[in-house]
Structure formats: C-alpha cells, structure tokens
A and B are shown apart, each in its own frame.
Chain A
Amino acid sequence: MKNALPGTTALLSICALLLTSCGGGTNTVTDTAAITGTSDAIPIGIALAQTSNVALLGQEGFVGARIAETYFNSKGGINGTPIKLVIQDTGGDEAGAINAFQTLINKDKVVGIVGPTLSQQAFSADPIAERAKVPVIGASNTAKGIPEIGDYVARVSSPVSIVAPNSVKAALKQNPQIKKVAVFYAQNDAFNKSETEIFQKTVKDQGLELVTVQKFQTTDTDFQAQATNAINLKPDLVIISGLAADGGNLVRQLRELGYKGIIIGGNGLNTPNVLSVCKALCDGVLIAQAYSPEYPGEINKVFRQAYVDQYKKEPAQFTGQAFTAVQVYVEALKELDKKSKISTLPLDKLRAELNKQILAGKYDTPLGEIAFTPVGDVIQKEFYVAQIKMDKDGNTGKFVFIK
C-alpha cells in the first residue's frame, strides 16, 4: 500500500471546496408550465433562491409572485395578454444569482426580473442586468446602495435605514429605562452588515450605550459563547441582525441562558419561519415591518385572502413584497401597452421603455401606495412594528402589529 497521507490531505481540501460549492449551487428549477409552448404570454423572470440555506426566504417570495401571476392573469393580464413567470433558482450565493440572471436575460428573453433574494447576491447579479439593459426589481434587497447599482435597478423593499429604527423606538416605548444595548450581527452577509450599521447608529442617536457588538455567521447555530459574553455585560436590549435559523437560535439561547430584556430582530428574522426555531421563547421579539397583513387596501385584502386560503397562515413581508414587484411590472406594462402596443416593440426597446415606465408610475399595492425615486428606490408611506406572540403550546404564534 502506498503512503496514503498526501493524497488524503489533498483530497480533504478538494472535498471541502466541493462541499461548500454544492451547498450554494445553482439548480435550474424550470417551471414547466411557464416556458414550454409558444404562447405569446409576456415572460417576467423570477430569480429567487429555491435551494441553499436562503431557500426559505426565496420560497416565501416565490409564493407571492405566483399569487400575483394567477391574480393578474385572472384580471386579464396585460390588456388581454397573460404574463408568465419564468423561474430560475439562484441558490444562496453570488455565482448562482449571476447564472440565473444570465439565463433569464439571454435564454428566456424576459422583459424584466424580480430578485435576487439577498442584497449580497444583488451586488453581483444586478450589474449583469444593468449592462444588458434589463429592468430588475429587488423584492427583498434592503441594503444600502442597491438602486444605485444602475439605471435599470429598482426595488420595492424599503431600505433598512428607514425601516429598522422604528423597532428601536418601539422598544424604548415599551421600556423607557433601557440604557445598555448588545448588538449581534451575521458578518458574512451584506444585508445584515448594512442593517447593523443602521441599528448601531440608531442606538447612539437615541443616547443609549452600546455595550458589545458580537459577530456570527448565518450558518452558525451555536451561540452559547456569544450569548454568555453578552449577558455578562447586563444589557437591557439585544438587537439581532441575522437570518431565520441563526437568529431564531440566538433568541432561544439568549432566553435559555437567562436574558430577560427586550429583543429586537432585524429584517432577516421577519418571517414566520423563525417561530419554528425559537418556539415559545420567540415571544416578545420586536421586528420592524414594511408590510402588514392588516393593511386595509383592497389589493392587500385580495392578496392576503389568496395566501391564507392556500397556506392557512398570514403572508410574510417577503411574500407581500414579491407580489408587489410582479404587480409593478404588470401595471407598468399595461400603461406602456396603452401608449404603444408592446407586442410590436422589439425586446430591447420594450425593456428600455418598461424601465422608464416603472420609475414613472404610482402603484396601489399590498405595501400601500408606492412610487420610485429617480434612482429607483421605493417611496413607501406606511411602516409597522410587530411583536411576536406565541400561543400557549409554544408551537404556533403570530406577528402582532403594535403600531
């Protein structure tokens, strides 16, 4: 037998690399109903995460886009022509998002794209659409600098700088005695980094003392060391910027280790999926919201009902935002079609005109009335703060709006 060690060592490193890349790999989930056939339906690209550890957020968005497709097609689509969603899985990483964008733009010839799921992915993939002059509407990208990527990049997800401070104010309302604040954030994610900056700034602006800043990775699940460190500094408020699984675990472990104060969760925890992680211990967590299922607008009632009928629970913010993104496309296309028949426009002209129309319009959506700044950032009026209320059994719960 030959000396096995050098081979094994090389192998371990190769495999480690392989495993990591498999984790976030790109699998094409092609919707059979969508791109087969030669119908003249108008293709809108959906580039969200269907696989990887971001799949949860992506799937929430996907559901919203689907509901929008069904609803607007039942209302006659674009002045009689239906829309069809073309789905490309982005996985959880940048490479996956780039692949999905390229396929949608070059192969599927979509008029515009909704996505990608993470801001981190948007910084890599959006420039591709910008170069190809294809409109992109981010439905969950809230980091600083997304619309500034280019003329063709807009978003319906309000930037974290506007949404996040609301929850700190709500916490101070609940407990005006708050003095010391501990901040946790996932350092491997652009959005959470951007969010924590806003939170930390808000903490200082409110005259509170930032006693510790603890970092973790979105793939971490064990936070006992960090939680212990923070609790020993006796904070009255803990602010977490992470995603559902890691954030939920952090909440759970903080509570189990005896932390009694208020916990604020960032936008990544803004999903009912977090409830299944921290269960009864989620109770009381405050999260600022850009969407409320209870918003009284007509379109929201329709959307909410369709979602509840199908899934027997309230829609999450990401679902509402993805619905809104598709709605913006539909209404902009309708408006454009009135001016010049879109079926007669060549694709590049259609994409360019559509982009202008998107930015010019006003939309009555489940998020309330929205419009866009010239650079493509959303202008939204209503924001909310929700508090998690768990049922007695600790297995189910909901976001109660406290504004």
Chain B
Amino acid sequence: MNITLFLQQFLNGLSIGSIYAIFALGYTLVYSILGIINLAHGAIFALGAYFTYALMGGNFGFNGLLANAVLPIKLPFAMSLILGSTLAGLVGVAMERVAFQPLRRQGSDPLLTVVSSLGVGVVIVNLIQYLVGAESYTYPANTYGNLPPAINFGSLENPIPIRSVQVVIFGVSVVIVTILTYFINRTKYGKAMQAIAEDPTTASLLGINSDRFIILTFFISSFLAGLAGTLVASSVSIAGPYFGIAFGLRGLAVIVLGGLGSIPGAVLGGLLIGLVEAFVPAEYSGYKDAVAFGILFIMLLVRPQGLLGRRFIQKV
C-alpha cells in the first residue's frame, strides 16, 4: 500500500470512527448510570435523522401515512440538527419514562429492561416505516453551504481527496466529545452523574436526586444518537427506517472494545473500529462487519473489561 492510499484510508477511518464514537458515547452514558445497554439507541439514531430531515423542509414519499407531508417551516441545517437531536433526546426521555422507569421501580432484572429497550427499538422502527414509508431520504445538496464535494489533503500531483462532509463530521465529533468530557468532569451535573454511576444509593444519601439525573442521562444519550444519525444521514442519506440497526450493532462492538461504561474507551473504540474497517483490503471489504465483531470476540476473550474499562470487582 503506498503512502497516499494509506493516508487516505487513515483519514476515512478517523472520520467514520468519530461517528461511531459519538454514537457509542450514548450507549456508554446509559450503561454507566443504569448498568444496562439501551438497544433502542439505533432506532433513536434513525429517528434523529428523520426529525432533521423534516425540519429542513423535506417532504415524505407516498408510501407512509404521512404521504407527501411537509412541515410549514424550512430551517437551515445547523438549526435543524440541534432541534432534531433535541427532539430525539426528548423521545429518549419519554422512552425512559415508559419502558425503563416502571421496571426499575419494581426492581426487575436488568435483562428485562434490555428486552424492553429492544421492544421500544422495534416499535420506533416500525412506526417510522408506517408513517413515512421505507424510502430513502437525502438532505438537500446545499446542506453544508458551498463546500466543495471533496477536500484535497495531498498535492495536485498526488491528490488525497476526502469528502468534505466527512471532514465536517470529524470536526463536529471532536467538538461534541470535548464538550461532553468537560460536562462530565468539570460541572456539578456531570459530577453528580459520576456519583450515581459509582453508587446510586450513596449518591441519593448525599442528596442527589438520581431520578432527575437518569432523565438527563437519557436526554444526552438520545441527543447524541440523534446527532450521530443526522450527521451520518448528511453523508450517506437516510437509507430507510432500518438504517440505525447496523450502527446499533457496531456501537455495541465499540463499547465492548473500549470498555463498558468508559467515555474515553468509547471514543478510542470508535476510532479503532473505524480505522480497522477502513483498512480491510478491497477484496474483503464486504466483510467489514465480520471484522468489527471478530475484534469484539477476541477482546472478550483476551481482555473482557475492554481497552480502558475497569476490571469488574465482585461485590457482595
């Protein structure tokens, strides 16, 4: 492999990996606080993309209940992105109230909660299809203003073109991870979340209202899913209601690789899986998923706590 191709695939991998990272951060946050994996995360990811599409004034095709529906507003992309992700966040909160909280109150087995989240995911995906059909939707061509389709990171003779949208995604991801890290480590709210993650009982004895922070966690987690969904959709279109599922599965690989519950782990895991996928040789490129899950499998065997995860301590 020559250096140009190497650099090109490296940059591609970083960009794809950064999306995996912000997507997986959502999983990680919920896992840290509640100790469960929210399997509806992929569906929320898709939902966020649809919200943004609608807010940008996109109209829906003829196969769903909302055939040819279009919102009376037409917002610019940045605003739609934030609003669409916020809506996704609110759906996450509603989901927590309906599917998670009642089970938690009854002290149910975490497995039941995971199954419940899977149920919510399936309902959301089917609801999307029922409402807007299975068509793919693409954001308008001028989503990112007048950016050229690709940016050349090489020279004129030896071009290393990277799609502009990937560069934007990488930039946004870096900003999001920075803000989130600051929020978790430096703010009162973030510290309270950490306290709950450490030990919910002690946290509540210290006067932290854990219920409120669980809602906040679900909001942030689903916001991140919606944001990741929108960014991916701006790069590769909304491929249909099922388009979050593949991401949902890959996100699992990312957090197991990085270490369950570890924020830097989710970022590292995302980038690594993105890079590994980019370097899968062309003749095997159809097996990218298998590679991601192969890594997950090996990781579980060799280092079950993941790259940056903490060793599980047997508590009584």
Interface SS of chain B: helix
Which residues of B have CB within 8 Å of A81?
none
- The interface bits of chain A over 239-273 (1 if a CB of B lies within 8 angstroms of the residue's CB, else 0) are 00000111011001101111000000000000001
* B271 is an interface residue with CB less than 8 A from chain A: no
Taking a contact as CB atoms under 8 Å apart, the answer to whether A215 and B285 are in contact is yes
Residues of B near A53 (CB, < 8 A) are 134, 239-240, 242
- Is A229 in contact with B149, judged by CB distance below 8 angstroms? no
Which of B96-146 touch A at CB < 8 Å? 110-111, 114, 118, 121-122, 125-126, 129, 133-138, 140-141
| B94 at interface, CB cutoff 8 A | no
Q: Is the CB of A59 within 8 A of B63?
A: yes
Contacts of B269 in A (CB 8 A): none
Q: A16-B252, A214-B285 are in contact. Are A258 and B161 (CB under 8 A)?
A: yes
Q: Considering the chains assembled together, what is the distance between the CA atoms of A2 and B315 in angstroms?
A: 6
Contact indicator per residue, chain B 212-243, by CB within 8 Å of chain A (1) or not (0) = 00000000000000000000100111011011
Residues of B within 8 A of A188 (CB): 286
A49 to chain B: closest residue by CB? B134
| Chain A CB within 8 A of B35 CB | yes
Asked if A162 lies at the interface with its beta carbon under 8 angstroms from chain B, I say no
Contact A228-B8, Cβ < 8 Å, known A11-B114, A19-B248, A59-B63: yes
* Interface membership of B245, Cβ < 8 A: yes
Q: Which of B75-83, B84-92, B186-194, B275-283 contacts A (4 or more CB under 8 A)?
A: B275-283
Given A249-B236, A257-B150, A258-B150, A19 contacting B39 (CB threshold 8 A): yes
Q: Mark A1-43, 1 if CB is under 8 A from B, else 0.
A: 1111101110110011011101100010000000000000000
Q: Is B9 an interface residue (CB 8 A)?
A: yes
Chain A residues near B163 (CB-CB < 8 A): 224, 253, 256-257
**B264 at the A interface (CB under 8 A):** no
Closest to B63 in A: A59
Note all chain A residues with C-beta closer than 8 A to B5.
228-229, 232
Question: What is the CA–CA distance of A5 and B315 in the complex, to the nearest angstrom?
Answer: 13
Q: Which of A22, A229, A394 contacts B141 (CB 8 A)?
A: A394
| Contact partners of B304 in chain A: CB under 8 A | 5, 9
Q: Which 7 A-B pairs have the closest CB atoms?
A: A55-B134, A215-B286, A221-B236, A256-B149, A245-B239, A187-B286, A229-B282
Which chain B residues have a beta carbon within 8 Å of chain A's beta carbons? 4-5, 8-9, 12-13, 16, 35, 37, 39, 42, 61-63, 110-111, 114, 118, 121-122, 125-126, 129, 133-138, 140-141, 149-150, 159, 161-166, 232, 235-237, 239-240, 242-243, 245-246, 248-249, 252, 256, 260, 277-280, 282-286, 288-289, 300, 304-305, 312, 314-315
